[in-house]
Structure 1
């Protein structure tokens, strides 16, 4: 399977080359970053209200004064599905002055 030549495509290619089965459902974690804990908590609250089954974790980032919101979605790691989900999280994070910072698969 080949993927587009962008960051998401490169990550999927690396996962495929590492032997990860991309034809089954995985826990895909999307990372959002915020400058203030209140902003991160606001997104967490919003998601818990809109998507109560989604796993959402707020924690301090390794970078000082940055907060992470990790959103776990069980899905097929399909290129189009991942890019669409990233775009959706980007829009939500922007409402709370944050931004999407990529994704990964829990293996």
Structure 2
């Protein structure tokens, strides 16, 4: 009998989802997910932030003190799935933003 029978796509998100599954994360329960959306500058970041908030997301804009890069951080409670970054990509692309990863806190 196979211990981990759930199938995940063979890409970066699929690998992370597989790792979370192996660690015992319950995919039937909503999880607190942090998303990172990279933006080229403050003005673009504010536009992305507004678009994400208008879509009902809880987000904030921050600039890294060392690299001076701008990032929108979004905090979402959701069911984990492979299309995890798709909506954020759609909302941020018109402002030259792009999803730059996501994470889940695991006990």
TM range (shorter): 0.7 to 0.9
Structure 2 Cα separation of the partners of residues 14 and 5 of structure 1: 12
What SS does the aligned partner of 2:35 have?
strand
Please tell me the root mean square deviation across aligned C-alpha atoms, in Å: 1.9
Indicate whether 1:20 and 2:14 are aligned.
no
Instruction: Trace 1:43-54 onto structure 2 (pairs within 5 A).
Output: 43-51=48-56, 54=57
Q: Which has the larger radius of gyration?
A: 2
SS at match of 2:103: strand
- Pair 9,63 (structure 1): closer, same or farther in 2 beyond 3 Å: farther
- Aligned partner of 1:35 in structure 2 is 40
Q: TM-score, normalised by structure 1?
A: 0.79
Query: How do 1:27-106 residues align onto structure 2 when only pairs under 5 Å count?
Result: 27-51=32-56, 54-61=57-64, 64-79=67-82, 81-82=83-84, 86-106=85-105
Q: Distance in 1 between matches of 2:61 and 2:39?
A: 10
The structure 1 segments of at least 4 consecutive aligned residues displaced by more than 4 Å after TM superposition are none
Q: Do the aligned residues in 2 keep the contact of 1:35 with 1:65 (CA within 8 Å)?
A: no
| Unaligned ranges ≥5, structure 2 | 1-5
Normalized per residue, which structure has more helix?
1
